[in-house]
């Protein structure tokens, strides 16, 4: 099993969700987060004064999937979250040791 963490632009969230349900993802967790990468924040101007906004809003998705579809999930995120402009985000893939569905007690990929 793989645990996939994707940081994407907030306005891409619905596109990513639709793409992932299309490749068989059953669930995910989305969190509003702030951060910076190469984009390094931005400058806003109010009443002639510059304000450095060093952390930009992003959405963090966490998705646990079976090994069989992990590559398709990564591709689906890559394509649906892509704008080509700086700040599109990142995808991290981690090995997932175990999973358990609390309601039924199922474990492993049955729990996903």
Partner 1 sequence: MTAPLARRRWAPFLLAAAASVPAEALAQAQQAPTLSAGNTAWVLTATALVLFMTLPGLALFYGGLVRAQSVLSVLMQCSAIACLASVLWLAFVYSLAFGDGGPAVGYLGKAFLASVKADALAGDIPESVFFMFQMTFAIITPALICGAYPERMRFSAVVLFSALWLIVVYAPVAHWVWGGGWAQKLGVMDFAGGIVVHATAGVSALVLAWMLGPRAGFPGEVKPPHSPGMTMAGGAMLWVGWFGFNAGSALAANHAAGSAMVATHVSAAAAALTWMAIEWVRFGKPSLVGIVTGMVAGLATVTPGSGYIGPIGALVYGVLAGGVCFAAVVWVKKRLKVDDSLDVFGVHGVGGIMGTLLAAVFGSAALGGAGLSEGASMGSQLGVQALTLAATVAWSALATFAIGKVAAALTGGLRVPREQEADGLDLVTHGERGYSF
Examine residue 49 and tell whether it contacts partner 1 (CB under 8 A).
Answer: yes
Give the Å distances, CA to CA, from 81 to 5, 37, 85, 88.
13, 16, 11, 7
Examine residue 40 and tell whether it contacts partner 1 (CB under 8 A).
Answer: no
Q: Give the per-residue contact string, 54-93, with partner 1 (x = CB under 8 A; - = no).
A: ----------------------------------------
Of 33 and 68, nearer to partner 1 (C-beta) is 33
Distance CA 58, CA 31 (A): 8
| CA 18-107-96 angle, 5° bins | 65
* Minimum CB distance to partner 1, residue 24 (Å): 32
Of 60 and 72, nearer to partner 1 (C-beta) is 60
Examine residue 53 and tell whether it contacts partner 1 (CB under 8 A).
Answer: yes
Examine residue 47 and tell whether it contacts partner 1 (CB under 8 A).
Answer: yes
Please give the DSSP secondary-structure letter assigned to residue 19.
Answer: H
Q: Where are the beta strands (DSSP E) in the chain?
A: 2-8, 29-35, 42-46, 49-53, 56-65, 89-95
Binding site for partner 1 (CB under 8 A): 44-53
């Amino acid at each position: 099993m793989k645990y996939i963490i994707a940081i994407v632009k907030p306005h891409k969230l619905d596109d990513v969700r639709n793409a992932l349900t299309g490749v068989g993802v059953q669930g995910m967790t989305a969190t509003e987060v702030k951060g910076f990468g190469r984009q390094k924040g931005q400058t806003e101007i109010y009443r002639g004064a510059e304000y450095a906004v060093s952390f930009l809003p992003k959405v963090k998705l966490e998705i646990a999937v079976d090994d069989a579809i992990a590559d398709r999930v990564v591709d689906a995120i890559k394509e649906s979250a892509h704008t080509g402009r700086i700040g599109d985000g990142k995808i991290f893939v981690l090995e997932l040791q175990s999973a358990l569905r609390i309601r039924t007690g199922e474990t492993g990929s049955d729990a996903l």
